[in-house]
């Protein structure tokens, strides 16, 4: 299927690895001009052909500076993918042990980065009647499934997306959310990642945890989600084929969430 994205411009945040890298690669393969933001421009990101821009979106001024550079480099935006996030690794403590700094850092990265980047990019997106896709998490619907600051921040992101879709939809900008379940990325697979911390707390090997994770999470597909699968969903939602899809939260979780 031709997604009719060739020649359009996308800005993807958190694009150095994992889901963001897969999204940048998929959009570039569809012929989009992709500006990819990350704290570090990795060789894998450079290979996608995207224009890499170094940015720290957890700071108050980082998002506006990024959008200014993106528009200067590639022109008016047709698509914004707010993917930057994380900060959940190591946060296995209970509420009483979570400091103000934990909460602030997690919200700056997972929520306020998207709010600030969206605010800066919205004038351009309105001019092009573009689209915004925010990468949330099934933790927004199952807040017990991950560290409290992280899942709470993702719940805020999902709610923000719904409210923004109602406001800017009549002006031609579609806003949707994609909420993955456990995805096969370094977050789970790295020896110093969130998965390793969970495995250590349970007294099991990381490979044992990963083998059991799909079943424990209720994923009837029996495996973790692939980053390319999330990227394919993002590309479709960005396309004119999804012109009537707005204000929705799309789960891609192997049926982990059982409620409607």
Query: Domain boundaries in the chain?
Result: 9-181+226-251, 184-224
Whether residue 145 has pLDDT greater than 90: no
Work out the average pLDDT over 66-88: 94
Phi-psi label, residue 54: left if phi above 0, alpha if psi -120 to 50, beta otherwise: beta
DSSP-derived letter for residue 169 is G
Percent of the chain with pLDDT over 70: 98
Burial pattern 67-97, b for ≥16 Cβ within 10 A else e, equals bebbbeebebbbbbbbbbbbbbbebeeeeee
Work out the average pLDDT over 119-125: 98
150 belongs to the catalytic site:
yes
Among 238, 243, 194, which Cα is nearest to 89's?
A: 194
β-strand pairing of 33-38 with 9-13:
parallel
Marked catalytic residue, from 150, 160, 209, 254: 150
CATH topology of domain 9-181+226-251: Rossmann fold (3.40.50)
CA dist 151 and 234 (Å) reads 21
Residue 93: its pLDDT value, please?
A: 73
Work out the average pLDDT over 134-161: 94
3-state SS, one letter per residue, for 68-126: HHHHHHHCCCCEEEECCCCCCCCCCCCHHHCCHHHHHHHHHHHHHHHHHHHHHHHHHHH
pTM over 0.75: yes
Provide the mean pLDDT of the chain. Answer: 95
Q: Which of these ranges, 29-43, 180-194, 228-242, has the smallest mean pLDDT?
A: 180-194
Among 135, 168, 77, 163, which Cα is nearest to 253's?
A: 135
């Amino acid at each position: 299927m031709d997604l009719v994205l060739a020649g359009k411009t996308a800005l993807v945040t958190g694009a150095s690895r994992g889901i963001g890298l897969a999204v940048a690669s998929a959009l570039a393969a569809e012929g989009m001009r992709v500006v990819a933001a990350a704290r570090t421009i990795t060789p894998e990101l450079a290979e996608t052909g995207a224009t890499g821009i170094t940015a720290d979106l957890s700071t108050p001024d980082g998002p506006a500076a990024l959008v200014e550079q993106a528009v200067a480099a590639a022109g008016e935006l047709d698509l914004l993918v707010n993917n930057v996030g994380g900060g959940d690794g190591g946060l296995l403590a209970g509420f009483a042990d979570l400091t103000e700094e934990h909460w602030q850092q997690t919200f700056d990265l997972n929520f306020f980065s998207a709010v600030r980047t969206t605010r800066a990019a919205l004038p351009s997106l309105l001019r092009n009647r573009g689209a915004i896709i925010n990468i949330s998490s099934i933790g927004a619907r199952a807040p017990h499934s991950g560290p409290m600051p992280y899942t709470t921040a993702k719940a805020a992101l999902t709610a923000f997306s719904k409210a923004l879709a109602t406001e800017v939809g009549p002006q031609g900008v579609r806003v949707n959310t994609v909420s993955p379940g456990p995805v096969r990325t370094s977050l789970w697979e790295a020896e110093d990642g969130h998965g390793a911390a969970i495995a250590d707390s349970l007294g099991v090997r990381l490979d044992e945890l990963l083998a059991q994770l799909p079943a424990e999470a209720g994923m009837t597909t029996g495996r973790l989600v692939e980053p390319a699968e999330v990227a394919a969903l993002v590309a479709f939602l960005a396309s004119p084929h999804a012109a009537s899809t707005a204000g929705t939260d799309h789960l891609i979780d192997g049926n982990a969430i059982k409620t409607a």
